[in-house]
Amino acid sequence: MDRFNHGGLAVICTNLRKACEKQLRDEEATLFGDLAAYFSGKTESPGQATLQEIGAVLDEELATLYPAANEQAEAAGDRGAKRALLWGEKVTRLHKSFLMRLERNPKLLEETPVWVCESCGFLFVGAAPPAICPICKVPNIKIHRMEVR
């Protein structure tokens, strides 16, 4: 438990559950889902972050973390990592843009549906999702409406 917190383990188990589902490994998917739920239950909520705090985290990712990760992927000659980082950076920039829109119009989530791609995190604001994700190219059956809480 030294290397990962409960939230990190919940994310890892959730991703493993999804991978098992894609491979039609139902029993394993259920077990990873149970583990994800367990670790989620152990995760302490940090509280509500402001849009400015979230924006600062995204700015930090774009300014330092993505360049460092891209440098490592380039040095390793890892084309898959470079592609994933490209998608991640595009989506992070879109999230930053979305936060700026929310700052200008706090009622945006009440007025217009927001859709998120389950594969890459792409956000889309509009009445219906695009036919395919413009970032990772999955069909819109993988793009789900966000629930506002």
Q: Cα(103)–Cα(100) distance, rounded to whole angstroms?
A: 5
Same domain, 63 and 97: yes
First to last CA, the chain: 31
> 0.95 cut: is pTM over it?
no
Amino acid letter at 11? V
Task: Establish if 1 belongs to a structural domain.
Answer: no
The domain tally of the chain equals 3
The domain that holds 124 is classified in CATH as: 2.20.28.10
What does the pLDDT read at residue 149? 60
What does the pLDDT read at residue 4? 57
Task: Establish if 95 belongs to a structural domain.
Answer: yes
Same domain, 97 and 123: no
What does the pLDDT read at residue 30? 94
Task: Establish if 145 belongs to a structural domain.
Answer: yes
Find the domain containing 126 and state its range: 107-149
What does the pLDDT read at residue 70? 92
| Maximal CA-CA distance, the chain | 46
Tens digit of pLDDT at every position of the chain (149 positions): 444 577 778 878 887 888 788 788 899 989 999 998 998 888 776 678 888 888 998 999 999 989 999 999 999 999 988 988 898 898 899 889 989 988 998 888 888 898 998 888 888 989 999 999 998 899 999 999 987 66
Same domain, 146 and 118: yes
What does the pLDDT read at residue 2? 42
Same domain, 127 and 88: no
Which of 62, 51, 149 lies closest to 100 in space, CA to CA?
Answer: 51
What's the chain look like in SS3?
CCCCCHHHHHHHHHHHHHHHHHCCCHHHHHHHHHHHHHHHHHCCCCCCCCHHHHHHHHHHHHHHHHHHHHHHHHHHCCHHHHHHHHHHHHHHHHHHHHHHHHHHCCCHHHHCCEEEECCCCCEEECCCCCCECCCCCCEHHHEEECCCC
